[in-house]
Structure 1
Amino acid sequence: MVGYLFPGQGTVRVGMGAWLRRNPVARRVLDAFDERLSRPISPICTRGPLDRLVSTEHAQIAVTACNLATHAVLADEGYEPHVVAGHSVGELSALYAAGVLDLAEVARLVELRARLMARIDVVGGMHAIMGLEVAQVEEMAMWATAPDEPLVIGLENAPGHVVVSGHIGALDRLAKLATSASKIVELAVGNAFHSPLMEPAVPAWTEAVETALMSPPRVPVVPNVTAEPTLDLLAIRRALIAQLTGRVLWTRTVAVVDAMGPSVEVGDSKVLAGLSRRSGARCLSMAEPGTLRRLAREVAA
């Protein structure tokens, strides 16, 4: 048994999923996922162009397709998770792995989520703040916030790796305040995810989640907004809704999963494995050659 961590939107690149398309088991999942979308995502993953792939309406779907296909590879090798979590939109993939959502519901929900978030026209963005603690960034975000220009911590990714999310004006003010940060990185995202600027998408997203066909989870799920393992289906629905505007508590999530045993990043990404290492946690990445052999040794140990 091993913990599964599913990556989110910031991990896309042209050519993603190439190794999955060479695997017959994974390829069947990619094809089945394409069939359930209004438009297949595989051609954009394979050929781009990059600006189209990284757009919100495509990136969330692309990463989900690769996550589910990678899950199929692990299942074919006989692995089952003992706990699951997903980073931002990766939470939908985690719910699939826990048996809460089937393939068709994941496709429907991720396509709607991407469309709702892409349509928000308020000018927002996200910056990664390196080298500062959460409390320091929170104070700076408070000072940078102005009326109708909110700024919040959107993601606690790892120690010294905090992402702020909000109005462009507030982000500019924070950049002038955060002189003690080791680095500030503007993220290539379409808007201020996990912030109050996502509020216009909440009503439609709430309706979709509340009416989604869900089954009780087979294994504990660690939602982003609570970082607490749960088998409660109502709590899972509420957390999935709250996540749209709420903070991703990934540092705490990684600690919870690591305390339960070894974990693996399930997708065509190495981002979560890197964040886990920053937190002192054990996590392999399925995007690394030879991971299945290393995973077998880790689980056996």
Structure 2
Amino acid sequence: MKAYVFPGQGAQFVGMGKDLYETNSTAKEMFEKANEVLGFRITDLMFAGTDEDLRQTKVTQPAIFLHSVILAKTMGDQFKPDMVAGHSLGEFSALVAAGALSFEDGLILVSKRAQAMQKACEATPSTMAAVLALPDGKVEEVCAGIMDEVVVAANYNCPGQIVISGSVPGIDRACEQLLAAGAKRALKLKVGGAFHSPLMEPARAELAEAINHTTFCKPVCPVYQNVNAEPQTDPEAIKSNLIAQLTAPVRWTQTVMNMIADGADSFTEIGPGAVLQGLVKKVSKEMVTEGIQ
């Protein structure tokens, strides 16, 4: 069975989507539609902007979404997923590619999500850190022990790699304690806020309203969602899980394991970068992976 996966924030690069725009009329039409929907020429920033331009959350998230979704759409009949999943932002790409959301609605939600997250980041100084080579349970225990600050496990990326999220003082203390507990690394990331933590609650509330006013359809195949790593096809359940996603951890390790248990024998990453292919291989060395970008 063929699984398709879609990358999240951090996979962006200058020039992303340019060849697609120049060589495929369907892609060009979709990119121009995106410029119209967003109210600014995101294509100018994607194709010829600076790294700094692309790092703006309001640009990064729609840019990665557009690159991924337009790639999937231009595959035509070759895109025949048995199951799909996306990492954080990538879940929106997966939902559009699988037909649960229209292209325009997906783009509008991603844009609103990016702006709401940016506001939440500005409201409270916060950050994230990558933790390597400690069991999940130990990382959770250290986070839970920091009582007076927000610190939580945010991304279960693969065995031995967790990203934690929270207040700046909380993350600093957690990193010290995790290194003392035997972590190979506990490295703060260059991000603007504590994604997938309780500090994203204002963004979750704002996005919930937008999601609840958006039409979702039954996807063409199961979508494995971040919050519980389970396959879903019911539109109302998909909406509920998508709303919960901003303040809940991304259970990527569990997602990949569940997809394999349910019969996935190959994973194709659609969109910029190759991060998810690497994470899949760390869950299962034998798994066949490829990327389309």
Q: What TM-score range do you get, normalising by the shorter chain? A: over 0.9
Give how far 1:232 is off. 1.4
Residue 54 of structure 1 corresponds to 55
Task: Give the TM-score, by structure 1 length.
Answer: 0.90
With 11-20 and 226-235 compared, the bigger mean Cα shift is at 11-20
Q: Secondary structure at the match of 2:153?
A: strand
Contact 1:230 1:236 in 2 (8 A): yes
Alpha-carbon separation, structure 2, partners of 1:172 and 1:145: 14
SS in structure 2 at match of 1:248: coil
Q: 2:65 — aligned with what?
A: 64
RMSD over aligned Cα atoms: 1.5
* Identical-residue share of aligned pairs (%): 36
Q: CA deviation at 1:186?
A: 2.2
Give the C-alpha shift of residue 19 in structure 1.
Answer: 3.6
1:266 pairs, out of 257, 263, 270, with 270
d(CA) in 1 for partners of 2:11, 2:147: 28
After TM superposition, the structure 1 = structure 2 runs for residues 50-129 of structure 1, keeping only pairs within 5 Å, are 50-75=51-76, 78-120=78-120, 121-129=123-131
Q: Give distance in 2, aligned partners of 1:187 and 1:18.
A: 28
One-letter amino acid of the structure 2 residue matched with residue 73 of structure 1? T
Superposed displacement of residue 127, structure 1? 0.6
**AA paired with 1:126?**
M
Secondary structure of the corresponding residue to residue 164 of structure 1:
strand
Name 1:229's counterpart in structure 2. 231
C-alpha spacing 1:153/1:194, structure 2 compared with 1 (3 Å): same
Q: Corresponding residue for 1:158? A: 158
Query: Residues 129 and 165 of structure 2 are in contact (CA less than 8 Å); yes or no, is this contact kept in structure 1?
Result: yes
2: CA distance between counterparts of 1:185 and 1:17? 31
* Residue 37 of structure 1: aligned partner: 38
> In structure 2, what residue type is equivalent to 1:60?
Q
Counterpart in 1 of 2:135?
133
* 8 Å CA contact retained: 2:212, 2:239: yes
- Cα deviation digits, residues 163-186 of structure 1 (max 9, x gap): 000000001001111121112232
What are the ranges of 5 or more consecutive residues in structure 2 without an aligned counterpart?
none
**Alpha-carbon distance in 2 for matches of 1:22, 1:132:** 45
CA shift digits 1:123-170 (9 cap, x unpaired): 111111011111111111122342xx2010011000011000000000
CA contact (8 A) 2:13 2:272 kept: no
Where structure 1 has 5 or more consecutive residues not aligned to the other structure, the ranges are 288-301
Give the paired residue count: 284
- SS for the counterpart of 1:244 is helix
Per-residue deviation at 1:72? 2.0
Q: Structure 2 CA distance, aligned partners of 1:41 and 1:144?
A: 41
The equivalent position to 2:279 in structure 1, one of 265, 269, 275, is: 275
